[in-house]
Amino acid sequence: MAIYFSSDHHFGHPAARSLYRRPFCSVAEMDQHMIAIWNAVIKGEDEVWYLGDFAVRQSREHVDDLLGIMHGRKHLLVGNNDDEKVINAAGWCSVRPYAELSIEATNVVLCHYPFRTWRNKDKGWINLHGHSHGRLKPLPRQFDVGVDARDFRPVTLADLIGSTKVRPANAG
């Protein structure tokens, strides 16, 4: 099982194509493309921390259908566009506004919104966020996991930090 991060699909949102300069002819094409990439990356028991803005103004049934066809065990960190239909959808393993995880001795702070400072920032903790659609200059140890910043692909922590040396949170 791998752990992935993603955000800001804005499924069903017509304005997402122009607002975020997405290269699709229609909302249906955009949604199908993003689902195909998700399912090519995420396998059955992979865990996905979804950092908000899943679908915009969609029916509960449509949100349930989307979550049902997208692979993985999904956790939602609520974004500003996630209404009650998204928040209460059956496909989430958990729903919350904020989370902290430890992944292979690296601690991460997760929220839909980017922080300018975060818990234990000075001790090597990393901030993962969505919301800014690749338009915000990141701070050191801060990463936008939104689809517009990541070629529509869910990413692992290793994908984000690459060969960058990250000091584990317990290193003092």
The structure's pTM equals 0.91
Q: What residues does each domain of the chain span?
A: 3-171
Contacts for 155-161 with beta carbons within 8 Å, 24 or more apart? Answer: 155/4, 155/5, 155/6, 156/2, 156/3, 156/4, 156/5, 157/3, 157/5, 157/103, 157/104, 157/106, 157/108, 157/126, 160/5, 160/126, 160/128, 161/106, 161/126
Q: Above pLDDT 70, what percent of the chain?
A: 94
| 39-76 per-position pLDDT tens digit | 999 998 999 999 999 999 999 999 999 999 999 999 99
Residues 3-171: name the CATH superfamily: Metallo-dependent phosphatases (3.60.21.10)
